[in-house]
Amino acid sequence: MDQFRSEGQGQARVIEGNKEGDLAKIQSEAFRETEEIKGRADAEATDIYASAYNKNRTSIDLYKFLRTMESFEKSMDENTSIILSTDSEFFKYLRKLN
């Protein structure tokens, strides 16, 4: 009886090991595929933006403005003080507000 129990436990460990290996392989493949999909989506989005923003001078200026505003948002909060050079992109847009 102990022999059967021991053999059963050995088989259970083999099955458990195979399950863990299969699970790791599936997760690894899923992660790789996810990253590939994200990469293709990012590339496609970049192409779409480039196509849209490079149509004419106005769209190029709009893109530059939007990127500058994104930089403002990410780099400053209500307690931030800044000193700008007169040739900086930030200053260029702020000067136009007056």
Q: 93, 68 in Cβ contact below 8 A? A: yes
Domain check: are 49 and 66 in the same one? no
Q: How many domains does the chain have?
A: 2
Q: Is the pTM of this model over 0.85?
A: no
Task: Tell me the average pLDDT of the chain.
Answer: 84
Domain range enclosing 79: 56-98
Alpha-carbon distances, residue 8 vs 5, 16, 19, 49, 72 (angstroms): 5, 12, 16, 61, 65
Domain check: are 9 and 30 in the same one? yes
Residue 54 pLDDT > 70: yes
Residue 16 pLDDT > 60: yes
Domain check: are 14 and 44 in the same one? yes
Say which residue, 40 or 15, is predicted with more confidence.
Answer: 40
Residue 25 pLDDT > 90: yes
Domain check: are 72 and 47 in the same one? no
**CA–CA dist 10, 85 (Å, integer):** 73
Compute the average pLDDT of residues 59-86: 82
